[in-house]
Amino acid sequence: MVKSNVGHFTEPEFHKIVDHICREQTGERKVLTDDERIVKDLLLRNSYKPKTIRSWLYVLTFPRFLQEQIKTGELSPEKARLLYRDYKIKTNKQIEAEILQDIRNYIDSIPNIVDERLKNEQ
């Protein structure tokens, strides 16, 4: 619907427009651009709530396995959002743990490097 009327937006631009519309409705944003007003008008004229559209656009950023569970009704979008948040945190924690381990390994190897350099100088 939106693409046929104002299809010149990229996907990230459209996400940003919908976010601006939602923030305008909650009073966080005072002024909308002309394009944002057009999209808002299209959504409302076709009985779409911008907040709902924003949440579904967010769902599209989830990993495929969560999207499939939402489609089949195994998960609600809200539960999927919480799982995705936990998934990102765990993933980040795993990466942090790997980085810390690499740092420890490097620090542990420093005495060996120094010893080898001293041997080579003699």
Residue 63 near residue 87, CB atoms below 8 Å: yes
pLDDT of residue 11: 85
The amino acid present at 107, given as its one-letter code, is: I
Distance between CA 78 and CA 93 in Å, rounded?
Answer: 23
- Digit-by-digit pLDDT tens for the chain (122 residues) are 555 666 688 888 999 999 999 999 999 988 999 999 999 999 999 999 999 999 889 888 888 989 999 999 999 988 998 988 888 777 777 888 888 888 888 888 777 766 676 677 66
84: Cβ contacts below 8 Å, ≥ 6 apart: 62, 63, 66
Instruction: State how far the alpha carbon of 45 is from the alpha carbons of 16, 42, 49, 51, in Å.
Output: 20, 5, 10, 15
The domain segmentation of the chain, as residue ranges, is: 1-61, 76-122
